[in-house]
Structure formats: structure tokens, C-alpha cells
Amino acid sequence: MKRTFIYTLILFLPFLAIQHSTANAQGKQAKVVCVAFYNLENLFDTIDDPKIDDAEFLPNGSGQWDTKRYLLKLNHLATVISQIGDEYTKNGPALIGVSEVENRQVVYDLVHTPPLKSMGYDFVHFDSRDSRGIDVALLYQPKIFQVKSTSMHPLKMADTSFHTRDILQVDGLLDGEWVHVLVNHWPSRSSGEIETLAKRDAAADNCLNVVKAIFKAEPGARIIIMGDLNDDPVDESLMKHLKTKTKPENLGPEDLYNPMWQMYRDGIGSLAYRDVWNLFDQIIVSSALVDKKSDGYRYLKAKIFNKEFLIQKEGQYAGYPFRTYGGGIYQGGYSDHLPAYMFLVKEIK
């Protein structure tokens, strides 16, 4: 794809009215799809599951989590998802990875809310052994993405008592093109950033091993890594262990490009803690999705979805993402994270 076309496409992308539609840009036609990731901040149902620690999210729990609050949160999250990427597309992301979901039922309830049901989302979810009982999942629109295989990749640590989210791998056809999607949620910093660093490094190593296995079976594969990585793009888990590259130029055939690195350097974040913004929510792509010579879908740009209604207006957390709970007190918001998203585009010859 020629640079002159990319420049023209950027100027005319607002005219792409609906996702996966074609549009004429000074004599050239293009398709665009949106890919996203969203940490849903403890999307639990109201039913006690004795196999996990969900006591906080029950009607008689400390969070007083009842049906009214659950349904409001579902509608809030669905409203956000339906609008992600709406500056270029109008039918929601073709693919959106999510984290902090309790089980399959809450994902089912989410995709069947009024804002999302008409978009026809299906999803892939597996229960993991996470100690808090939260998982990852991938929502997708079958009219654009066809699932061909799924698998889970657990993080194995020397401390066998430690359990965290598995990597969800979904392989399929994005508008006829093979892609491999890896949905991650790496270990948190809840016990301290330094104290938990080795766990995130190990999670990055695990993710890189999955990537290497894909490349071994399919050299030059199109891979999309997404997730709440609980580290910033500049941290060693990303730079030294996952071995991400920070510039799109001169990528090797099996390199991983992280567009969020420059966003972080520019002061953009997806969550805030103690008045400091972090960019834990990231989308990373293999070099095949950055290749200017590719005839298929390729990376155009990445962003953080930060519309005004997602930001707390007042109180202790003013200026932060408008979350469901803050300091243990119900806020009635959306999530403590903002969604990350990117656009893939291809020219139609």
C-alpha cells in the first residue's frame, strides 16, 4: 500500500460510515475494521459460586451487588463497546477482548444487552484457575470474523499455589484473512510493583512462547496481542521479555510492534492511580500487520477510548475513569480502565 494512499485514507476515513464497509477515497476503495480491548472491572453476577471468591459481589456482600446494579453495569459496558471506534466505524469493534469477567454467563448477558444484541456478537470464553475467579474472553462479529480454533495457555510458575488468568488464543478468518488473537490479563501489582515484577515477566515469556509456536507453524503470521498487562509499554516485561519493538520501521518478519509505546511517551493512559496515568491496556501486532507491501489488512492507528462520559466529574476521583466502585464505595460508573482500540485497513484494488 503506497504512502500517498494512506495519507488520503486518513483524510477521508470519517466518511467510512459503517464497519467493514467500502468507501471511495479519491478513486481508491478501502475496508476498515476496529479491534479493541476492555477491562470490565469485576463483571460478576449476583449468584454465589462456591468454587471462587465472589463474596464481595453478592447482594449481602460488602459491595451490596444486586440485580439492579448488575443490569446497570451491563448496560453501561455495552454502551461503551457499541461506540468504540465510531469515528470511523458505526457497528462496534469486529473483535474485542475483555478481562475481569466472572464466567460465561456474564459474557452472554453482556452481548444480549440492547446496545449490543443487534450487532450480533458471539464470544469465546473458558474458565481459568485465577484465584479471584475472573477470566478473559473474546467477543466477535461472525459476519466479519469466523472462529476456526481456540486454546488456552496457562502460566506455570515455580510457586504452584499461584494461579492467574490463562492466555486465550483464538485463530480465525478476519474477512477471509488468517489472524491469531491472544487475549491476556497479566498478574497485577496488588502486592507491590517490584514484588510482583517476576510474575509479569513470566507472563510475558509465556506470551512470547505462544507467539513463537504460531510463527513456527505459520511463518509471517498475522498476530494480535491484546490485554491488561499491568505494566506500561516501557517496562521490562514488554521490552525485554515480550521483545516488543517501538517503531514501525525496519521490523523483522517475526517482530512485534507496540504502537502504545509512543502513546505512553505522549502522556496517554488507560487508568489512573495516585494521580499518575498508566497505559496497561495495550494492543500489539506482528510485523505482517504493519507491512506496507501487504495486500491485506494492516495497522492504521491505535487509540484510547476516552469520551467525556467515561471520566469522573467530581469527588476524590475527579479526572479518573468513572468506575463502578472507588475506595470500596459504589460509584455507579463503567470501569476503572478505559478501552484500547486500533483500526486495520486494506485497499481494495
Give tens-digit pLDDT for 198-245: 999 999 999 999 999 999 999 999 999 999 999 999 999 999 999 999
Grid coordinates representing 5? 494512499
3-class DSSP state of 319: coil
- Alpha helix ranges (H) inside 13-146: 67-83, 104-111, 114-117
pLDDT score of 13: 45
pLDDT score of 12: 43
Residue 264 neighbours by CB under 8 Å, 6+ apart: 232, 233, 234, 279
SS3 content of the chain, % helix, strand, coil (to 5): 25, 30, 45
Note whether 339 and 281 are within 8 A (CB). yes
Residue 144 neighbours by CB under 8 Å, 6+ apart: 19, 20, 33, 94, 174, 175
pLDDT, tens digit, 9 for 90 and up, residues 7-65: 334 434 443 433 444 444 455 788 999 999 999 999 999 999 999 989 999 999 999 99
Residue with cell 489512573: 272
Mean pLDDT value of segment 65-80: 98
Print the domain residue range for 99.
3-348
Residue 49 CA to residue 53 CA, distance in Å, equals: 8
Q: What is the CATH classification number for the domain harbouring 172?
A: 3.60.10.10
| Burial class, 219, CB count within 10 angstroms (exposed 0-12 / middle 13-18 / buried 19+) | exposed
> First vs last Cα of the chain: how many Å apart?
10
Residue 51 CA to residue 133 CA, distance in Å, equals: 8
Note whether 283 and 224 are within 8 A (CB). yes
Residue 182 CA to residue 242 CA, distance in Å, equals: 13
pLDDT, tens digit, 9 for 90 and up, residues 97-126: 999 999 999 999 999 999 999 999 999 999
Q: Which residues pair with 33 in a beta bridge?
A: 344
Note whether 137 and 123 are within 8 A (CB). yes
| Phi/psi at 114 (5° precision) | -55, -40
Higher pLDDT pick, 119 / 160: 119
Mean pLDDT value of segment 287-294: 90
Note whether 178 and 221 are within 8 A (CB). yes
pLDDT, tens digit, 9 for 90 and up, residues 297-343: 999 999 999 999 999 998 888 999 999 999 889 999 999 999 999 99
Mean pLDDT value of segment 68-81: 98
Residue 298 CA to residue 304 CA, distance in Å, equals: 19
- Look at the chain and report how many structural domains it folds into: 1
- Run of H or E including 261: helix 260-265
pLDDT score of 67: 97
- Residue ranges of E strands in 13-134: 22-25, 28-43, 95-101, 122-125
pLDDT score of 131: 83
